[in-house]
Structure 1
Amino acid sequence: MQIHEEARKFSYQTGVRVVVAYGGAPITQQLRDLERGVDILVATPGRLVDLLERARVSLQSIRYLALDEADRMLDMGFEPQVRRIVEQMDMPPRGVRQTLLFSATFPGEIQRMASDFLENYIFLAVGRVGSSTELIAQRVEFVQEADKRSHLMDLLHAQRDSSEQGKQALTLVFVETKRGADSLENWLCTNGFPATSIHGDRNQQEREYALRSFKSGQTPILVATDVAARGLDIPHVAHVVNFDLPNDIDDYVHRIGRTGRAGKSGIATAFFNDNNSSMAKSLADLMQESNQEVPAWLTRYAARPSYGGGGGRNRRGAVGGSRFGGRDFRRESSSFGKGGGASDYAGGSSYGGGGYGGAGAPSAWD
């Protein structure tokens, strides 16, 4: 929906038709829109496969294929659907179409998978991949589980008191479970803080309603599971609270990236306790990379082998500075399967990542 809305803005009065197709919404209207003709189709993999099976869509004229949040599209169960769309339907082969993949994190394992869809490709990194912008002020506070709600209320009161006209700034609160989201939403509303929530059990209509209510400020607090951590571009989010820290540093990066967008500043607060000990080192490293002040107690946690010894391992098993895929994996391997060769990668880029250039051209990562 979000990409569709933005594409419509860019195509305004150009004659370019943009259509959206996604699950959880009636297919009838989407079919009508497709029948009128389409130049840009924004679709989720499942709904697109459905349309292809119904023979209501053909891909043979595709010239540009873009995958947004590409690492998760290939990592969260969508890979079979994406492969079917790209390799088994009437999609033009790589080299004929241009393929673009976008993500804030792109680990080597997923890069290898993605290379099946690419040919002679360029790897560009804007900024430091997997790191956080310095526009986001990160805070980590030690809060026991039993004290989280009262601590959150203190934060919200302080935020309301310091804002103009006593209004609650838009605040996104992340929790780990759907039940936790519902429970916290009800508790906040009961205590005078208008809130709404989105999670995996909400249908598409409920999610859209919750997002509209949040964006408009009618319910300025949105409680969410990671269903909202990826891709959502909600203007004016002032504060992201990790009420429950995730187990994966990639997820933390994407969560706090909901604030500090488009050159604006933001605040990200995380509640940490012994249950999050495996995150200590990766969290401290990330904060240090982003020029944030690391609490002394977190540094001590990170230094303990029993707490931080995991080295910031993410779900794909990557460790250390390249865990987010900030380098083209071809730089780290003498060869790779399909889609090119390690010798093709040489050049640096003004964007801070890799490109193609002459042999021996300096890399921005050297």
Structure 2
Amino acid sequence: EGHMWRDCPTGGDGDSRPKGCFKCGEEGHMSRECPNGGAGGDNDDRPPPYIPPPPPEDEELIYQSTQTGINFNKYDAIKVEVSGENWPNPITSFDDAKLPDTVGQNVLKSGYEKPTPVQKYSIPIVNNNRDLMACAQTGSGKTAAFLLPVLSGMFRNGLKSADSFSESQTPQAIVVGPTRELVNQIYIEARKFARGTMIQPVVVYGGTSVRSQLANLSRGCNMLIATPGRLLDFIDRGKVSCECVEYIILDEADRMLDMGFEPEIRRLLGAPGMPDKNTRHTLMFSATSPDDIQKLAHEFLRDDFLFLTVGRVGGACSDVTQAMIQIDHSEKRDKLMELLSDVPTTKARTLVFVDTKRNADFLATLPSQENLPTTSIHGDRQQREREMALVDFKNGTCPILIATSVAARGLDIPKVEHVINYDLPSEIDEYVHRIGRTGRCGNLGTATSFYDDSKDGTLARSLVKVLSDAQQEVPDWLETCALGAVGTHHGPKGGRFGARDARTTGASGGRSNRETGDYDYNDGGTSAGNAPQGGGASGGFSDDEWN
């Protein structure tokens, strides 16, 4: 100890770097992957890079799906609006969707009996080579609404050979989502629909081994599903080429194009080799879309794009029974334990949302002390812990999940019966996304929210509007709080929900700054302001080495 190898006084010549692992001295592996458990180095306490388990190969597991609920047939009565010129007629069944035979068979195996409204309209729109901005209530089937026509289009246009072991992969479709959990969920759906075809979907996201993801990518990739940070880094390093991209899909588009995320999207859409907007197709899907965000989105879509709204956009699903509890902060813990007390009997999966990562871990210990199996998920947990928490929650091992907003966006967790907002979010669209984890596909659900007037007063008017639009009871005390609230609006940061095409409204609103919530906006990459030039190393990875 006490000197670098180049300065070794015992014979090192300083001209050549020692070969082999720094821990055990053997060649053929890096020190962080040392199979011999060698000691040494500054990162001994660091966990090994996380390699997610491979997805299931058993058909019963692959095609398991959320069962539709008693209100699924009500979807046919939901109001649908399409704005734009010459839009195609909606389909009435998947037989009309022009799906390749194998994809159509996979849809049937997945238990899809008939398309939801967003699928009825989106599929023919994309099949007719139109760009689309689609807004529909959460839990309405948006993922299949873009995956199915994109898969069909890739077959129709001719599959580019997914060159195994190529230095750079050239996907025909790129799907981007804001969180690791969401993109992994989209990948599972894409893999299910593409099973038995030549299409190879691949997912990349932060918190996992770079080397493992590069190995998966090198086996060939027609459809790449990714969080933006790691996707941009792979592009910068020449591991992904955009020259063959035919489809760009932005899921949760309101967040993806909010001002805080605009630089990353611009970097992606301006990446070397990326076809311009009149050559590729751009699709945006979300449950909310404020007018000012729509206007920003118009820059990325063709001029003749179609705008689709399904139901009360930005509103809560009427299949969710919403309850508001006025409560002081000091009383929240006792009330939470009261609400959770019947979980051992009912086995009801209960999702509890909190504001901070620290509070998520702390609150998870309270039910556990009462023999109520509980887990937590937030951005500071290692990726293996986050994925294990979701697995335990989905299979009922831990029927209570304490979460920050990282779990709120687009995740389809089967059989969530109760959502509790221990802390209400600062914006109403986040509230809508949170309670949308229950009451999906016509199933019924319950959402209970703790309201503290000293903290949540600016949300009062928006809550009254959401409750009223969903035909829910509005407590008298909340009406009073709303009347006393000053300067609040029904919409994020003074904006309005995008239930209409901004081209026809002339509405405007302020753009929000980068969110401080628990999202993976720079997941595995750099911020736009520190973007590497010329494909240089970003320094954004903390889980693995490139060389």
Indicate if the aligned counterparts of 2:377 and 2:402 stay in contact, CA closer than 8 A. yes
Confirm whether residue 81 of structure 1 aligns to residue 254 of structure 2: no
Paired position in structure 2 for 1:301: 481
Paired position in structure 1 for 2:392: 213
> Residue 244 of structure 1 is aligned with which of 419, 423, 433?
423
Paired position in structure 2 for 1:91: 274
Q: Which has the larger radius of gyration?
A: 2
Aligned length: 323
Confirm whether residue 171 of structure 1 aligns to residue 344 of structure 2: no
- Give how far 1:156 is off: 1.6
CA distance in 1 between partners of 2:307 and 2:493 (Å): 20
- Give how far 1:170 is off: 0.5
Paired position in structure 2 for 1:106: 289
> Residue 37 of structure 1 is aligned with which of 220, 223, 232?
220
Indicate if the aligned counterparts of 1:249 and 1:312 stay in contact, CA closer than 8 A. no
Confirm whether residue 195 of structure 1 aligns to residue 367 of structure 2: no
Confirm whether residue 256 of structure 1 aligns to residue 450 of structure 2: no
Indicate if the aligned counterparts of 1:45 and 1:78 stay in contact, CA closer than 8 A. no
In structure 1, runs of 5+ residues without a counterpart are: 161-165, 336-366
- Give how far 1:203 is off: 2.1
CA distance in 1 between partners of 2:493 and 2:274 (Å): 29
1:129-153 per-position Cα deviation (integer Å, ceiling 9, x unaligned): 0001110000001121111111111
Paired position in structure 2 for 1:61: 244
1:215-255 per-position Cα deviation (integer Å, ceiling 9, x unaligned): 11111111011111112110110000001111111110110
CA distance in 2 between partners of 1:60 and 1:292 (Å): 50
Indicate if the aligned counterparts of 2:201 and 2:224 stay in contact, CA closer than 8 A. yes
150-159 or 64-73, larger mean C-alpha shift? 150-159
Q: Give 3-state SS (helix, strand or coil) of 1:67's partner.
A: strand
Give the letter for the 1:188 counterpart: P
1:268-311 per-position Cα deviation (integer Å, ceiling 9, x unaligned): 0001122212211110111001100111111121122xxx2333
> Residue 488 of structure 2 is aligned with which of 311, 323, 337?
311
> Residue 287 of structure 1 is aligned with which of 463, 467, 473?
467
Report percent identity of matched pairs. Answer: 50
108-117 or 250-259, larger mean C-alpha shift? 108-117
- Give how far 1:194 is off: 1.1
In structure 2, runs of 5+ residues without a counterpart are: 1-183, 509-547
Q: Give 3-state SS (helix, strand or coil) of 1:116's partner.
A: coil
1:65-98 per-position Cα deviation (integer Å, ceiling 9, x unaligned): 1000111112263321211111232111112111
TM-score, normalised by the number of residues in structure 2: 0.57
1:29-59 per-position Cα deviation (integer Å, ceiling 9, x unaligned): 2212222211111011111111111111111
TM-score, normalised by the number of residues in structure 1: 0.85
Q: Give 3-state SS (helix, strand or coil) of 1:41's partner.
A: strand
> Residue 501 of structure 2 is aligned with which of 301, 314, 328?
328
Q: Give 3-state SS (helix, strand or coil) of 1:25's partner.
A: coil
CA distance in 2 between partners of 1:91 and 1:316 (Å): 33
Paired position in structure 1 for 2:456: 276
Q: Give 3-state SS (helix, strand or coil) of 2:202's partner.
A: strand
